[in-house]
Amino acid sequence: MDALYLVKIGEILLKLGNRKEFEERLRGQLNKKLAGIPHSVNIMPGRYYVCVPEDRAEDAEFILSRTPGVNGYIRARKTEKTLEAVFEAAVQVAKERVASGLTRFKAESRRSDKSFPLGSFELSAELGARVLEACPGTRVDLHKPEFTINAEIRERAYVFPDPKPGLRGLPVGSGGKGLLLLSGGIDSPVAGYQMARRGLALDAVYFHAYPYTSKEAHEKVMALARILGSYTGGITLWTVPFTDAQLRIKKEAREDLTTVFMRTAMMRVAHLLAQKIGANCLITGESLGQVASQTAENMRLTESTTDLPVLRPLVGIDKEDTILLAKEIGSYETSILPYEDCCVLFSPKHPMLRADHEREGASYRALDLEGLLAEALSKTERLDIPFAISRP
Ligand code: ATP
Ligand code: MG
């Protein structure tokens, strides 16, 4: 038997009138992620149906649980449009719930096929009666049910329990592509996830200061990119050799300014790369006040080398909340591996907290890094990481 999933999609956007684009994007994402599995994705009004072989049901659930634009999903039983078939399926669904200790339920039905012998109200009542009869100990509770039995009469009949929550949000790609500055830390993967959920496709860029930052640090970033790719349907990671730029800044800039200047230089290379790959914005994991480089003044300086919007979805998020999210999305365990992304060698003891836009901006420009940064960009390595099912 095949496993059939009923997928609820972002109804708010459908109401806005971008329905076609939304549907095509989401279907494209699902097809891309399901590519290694024999499958079908069918769009019906307000619903998707995803069908996979029984032995790939878990993989399908992994995919549905990680695809922005999916509001909810649930395995459904598809039956003939006869009362007996629908009742039998409903009792099966109820028995599974009862086996997991639940008793209070309600039945809900929808009928788009008006030729079906019962109206939705009568059908719900009859479903409830059949379940009560077949599952002793259950009772109907319309206000606080522990589970719901749903029946939908469409081109076929579908019977299913409560949908599992999806990520909601918008299908990846519906907002264009963003370039994520991905370090090995906790914050930037979460920032990327947040923006993917708002419909951005992602490329990631990592600034690597080999040998000051290790090969393991680079591998850690690749692992984080792979995790993000399980949400976005694969990802391209760009690795910029940044050692020369960092050494130059360390040698020539005032010590307290090195951190903020390195960030400014990174933003510049990210800007150039974004133009090359057609990204419409930059994304960082910065959060206001978290470290010295993350004050409003310093952000003003670091973003002065790009005119793209710099999206910082964590700017007002408390670190503890970011950590919770990192755990939820499965990046935390990788992020806390010990390989540092920024060598202590490059961190000043007393970094500048509030860079003056005019004065410090002028001394940044006096470093005249453009040639060096263009060279770093030209030596940037590209790694295409395909989507993979990777359960934690
Ligand atoms: P994270 O946990 O994301 O590393 P953080 O709290 O350690 O963030 P910083 O190290 O100041 O903060 O970095 C701020 C942001 O700058 C990061 O979230 C990331 O977007 C970007 N960034 C920092 N270092 C790098 C790097 N080596 N490569 C790419 N992006 C970087
Ligand atoms: Mg960091």
pLDDT digits (tens, 9 = 90+) for 235-256: 999 999 999 999 999 999 999 9
Take residue 189 and report the two structure tokens written for it.
């993967």
Residue 267 domain flag: yes
Distances (CA, A) of 138 to 103, 104, 146, 164, 366: 4, 6, 10, 22, 77
Residue 219 domain flag: yes
Residue 343 and residue 296 share a domain: yes
**For position 338, what pLDDT does the model report?**
86
We report the CATH number of the domain holding residue 197 as 3.40.50.620
Mean pLDDT computed over 305-320 = 97
Percent of the chain scored above 70 by pLDDT? 96
Residue 113 and residue 79 share a domain: yes
Q: Cis check for the bond before 351: say yes or no (omega within 30 of 0).
A: no
Residues 291 and 191: their CA atoms lie apart, in Å, by 16
pLDDT digits (tens, 9 = 90+) for 123-138: 999 999 999 999 999 9
Half-sphere exposure of 357 (CA within 13 A, CB side): 8
Mean pLDDT computed over 293-307 = 94
Q: Which domain holds residue 336?
A: 177-386
pLDDT digits (tens, 9 = 90+) for 97-115: 999 999 999 999 999 888 8
Task: Decide if pLDDT at 374 tops 80.
Answer: yes
> From the CA of 342, how far away is ligand 2's center (Å)?
7
Q: Is 322 in the pocket of ligand 1 (CB under 6 A)?
A: no
**For position 63, what pLDDT does the model report?**
97
Mean pLDDT computed over 31-49 = 91
Q: Is 284 in the pocket of ligand 1 (CB under 6 A)?
A: yes
Pocket test for ligand 1, best of 179, 188, 202 (most atoms within 8 A of CB): 188
**For position 23, what pLDDT does the model report?**
87
Would you place residue 18 in the very low, low, confident or very high pLDDT band (cuts 50, 70, 90)?
A: confident
**Ligand 1 atom index nearest CA of 335:** 2
pLDDT digits (tens, 9 = 90+) for 144-181: 999 999 999 988 999 999 999 999 999 999 999 999 99
Number of domains in the chain: 2
Residues 164 and 64: their CA atoms lie apart, in Å, by 10
**Ligand 1 atom index nearest CA of 342:** 27
Q: Is 185 in the pocket of ligand 1 (CB under 6 A)?
A: yes
Residue that is last in its domain, among 165, 187, 222: 165
Q: Is 334 in the pocket of ligand 1 (CB under 6 A)?
A: no
Residue 161 and residue 181 share a domain: no
- Give the residue with greater pLDDT, 347 vs 231: 231
* Helix and strand numbers, DSSP H then E, in the chain: 14, 16
Residue that is last in its domain, among 139, 165, 191: 165
Residue 194 domain flag: yes
Closest ligand to C-alpha of residue 287 is 1
**Ligand 1 atom index nearest CA of 188:** 3
Residue 202 and residue 106 share a domain: no
Which of 205, 150, 149 lies closest to 177, judged by CA? 205
pLDDT digits (tens, 9 = 90+) for 49-89: 999 999 999 999 999 999 999 999 999 999 999 999 999 99
Strands in the chain per DSSP E: 2-9, 40-44, 47-53, 70-75, 77-79, 104-111, 139-140, 147-153, 157-160, 164-165, 177-181, 201-208, 235-241, 281-283, 310-311, 381-385
